[in-house]
C-alpha cells in the first residue's frame, strides 16, 4: 500500500475519532494537503480513506478501462489521451497548470516511477482534496510560488526561474469549509469550466433555466453515486471517457 509522509503537516486539534465526513471542519488549525486529511481519516476512523482509493480513481488517473471500447490495445482511456479535437482534452499533450492541471487532483501527469511502479512521493503529497470537498475554493489561486516542500511556506515570487506554478487552494479558509455533502457547484468547478468556449465538459450549463435536475435542486452525486472515490456514470456505448463503475447503472429509469 502506498503511504504518505506525515512529517510535512502541522497538527490538528486533538479530537475523538469520529465520522468527520459529515461534520463541519472548522476545528482545523492548519492545512498542508492530504496528510492533514489522513491524520484523522485513517484506517481506525469510522470514515477511513486510503491513498490507494485516490490513486486508483479516475480523478487521479484521468483514465480507466472501458468495456465498451473494442479497439486494438483498448486498455485504459479517458481525459489523459482522449482522441478529441477540443483544446485541453488530451493531457498527454496539453498538461500544464492552466489547462489539464487546473483541475487534475494530482500533481503532474499520473505516471508512476518506472522502477517501482508506485507514484512518486511528490505526486502523493500533491493530491488536492479540497478542490472537491471544500465548499469554498479559489479556482484562481494561480501564481508562481517558491518551491518549498511545506505548502504553507510557499510565497509568491516574480521570477519563474526561482519557483513553480502552484495552482491549488490549500488555504485554511478553504479547508475549514469541508464537511458537508458535495454540492453541484463543487463538481462544476471542473466539469463546467470554460463556458465561454466549446471546451466545457457537459452538453449544457447546469442551471435551473437549462436543466430540470438543477431546477429541482439536485446535486450531481444524487445520481452519480460514489464508492471509494469512484463515480458512477451513464454509458455512451463506445466513447473513450473514463468509466470506473460500469456495474453501477446511471439511467433515467432509476428515478422515472
DSSP string, 54-72: HHTSHHHHS-EE-TT--ST
The residue whose grid cell reads 500533481 is: 107
Q: How confident is the model at residue 3 (pLDDT cuts 50, 70, 90)?
A: very low
What does each C-alpha distance from 67 to 3, 74, 77, 255 come to in angstroms? Answer: 30, 9, 11, 25
Torsion sign, CA atoms 170, 189, 64, 71: negative
* Average pLDDT of the residues in 162-180: 78
Between strands 76-77 and 144-145, the pairing is unpaired
Q: Among 26-30, 178-182, 216-220, 237-241, where is mean pLDDT lowest?
A: 237-241
Q: Is 72 exposed, middle or buried (0-12, 13-18, 19+ CB in 10 A)?
A: exposed
Q: What is the pLDDT of residues 109-139, one digit of tens each?
A: 888 999 999 999 989 998 999 999 999 998 7
CB atoms within 10 A of CB 253: 6
Q: What is the pLDDT of residues 137-158, one digit of tens each?
A: 987 765 545 455 555 555 555 4
Residue 117 is placed in which grid cell?
A: 511502479
| pTM for the structure as a whole | 0.76
Who has greater pLDDT, 89 or 117? 117
Give the distance from CA 252 to its chain's centroid: 26
φ/ψ of 46, rounded to 5, equals -65, -20
- Contact, 5 vs 31, CB < 8 A? no
Based on its alpha-carbon atoms, the radius of gyration of the chain, rounded to whole angstroms, reads: 19
Q: Is the pLDDT of residue 7 over 50?
A: no
Which residue in 10, 55, 1, 58 sits closest to 33, CA to CA?
10
* Average pLDDT of the residues in 204-232: 90
Who has greater pLDDT, 227 or 138? 227
Amino acid at each position: 500500500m502506498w503511504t504518505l509522509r506525515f512529517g510535512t503537516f502541522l497538527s490538528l486539534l486533538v479530537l475523538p475519532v469520529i465520522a468527520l465526513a459529515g461534520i463541519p471542519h472548522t476545528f482545523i488549525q492548519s492545512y498542508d494537503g492530504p496528510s492533514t486529511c489522513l491524520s484523522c481519516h485513517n484506517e481506525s476512523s469510522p470514515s477511513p480513506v486510503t491513498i490507494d482509493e485516490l490513486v486508483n480513481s479516475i480523478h487521479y488517473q484521468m483514465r480507466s478501462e472501458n468495456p465498451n471500447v473494442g479497439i486494438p490495445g483498448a486498455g485504459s482511456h479517458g481525459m489523459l489521451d482522449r482522441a478529441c479535437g477540443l483544446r485541453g482534452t488530451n493531457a498527454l499533450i496539453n498538461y500544464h497548470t492552466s489547462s489539464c492541471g487546473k483541475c487534475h487532483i494530482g500533481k503532474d501527469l499520473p505516471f508512476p516511477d518506472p522502477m517501482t511502479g508506485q507514484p512518486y512521493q511528490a505526486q502523493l503529497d500533491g493530491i488536492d482534496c479540497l478542490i472537491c470537498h471544500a465548499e469554498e475554493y479559489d479556482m484562481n489561486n494561480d501564481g508562481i510560488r517558491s518551491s518549498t516542500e511545506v505548502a504553507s511556506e510557499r510565497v509568491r515570487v516574480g521570477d519563474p526561474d526561482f519557483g513553480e506554478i502552484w495552482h491549488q487552494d490549500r488555504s485554511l479558509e478553504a479547508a475549514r469549509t469541508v464537511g458537508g455533502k458535495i454540492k453541484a457547484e463543487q463538481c462544476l468547478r471542473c466539469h463546467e469550466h470554460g463556458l465561454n468556449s466549446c471546451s466545457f465538459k457537459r452538453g449544457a450549463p447546469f442551471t435551473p433555466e437549462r436543466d430540470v435536475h438543477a431546477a429541482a435542486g439536485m446535486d450531481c452525486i444524487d445520481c452519480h453515486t460514489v464508492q471509494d472515490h469512484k463515480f458512477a456514470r451513464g454509458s455512451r456505448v463506445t466513447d473513450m471517457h473514463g468509466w470506473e463503475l460500469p456495474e453501477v447503472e446511471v439511467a433515467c429509469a432509476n428515478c422515472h
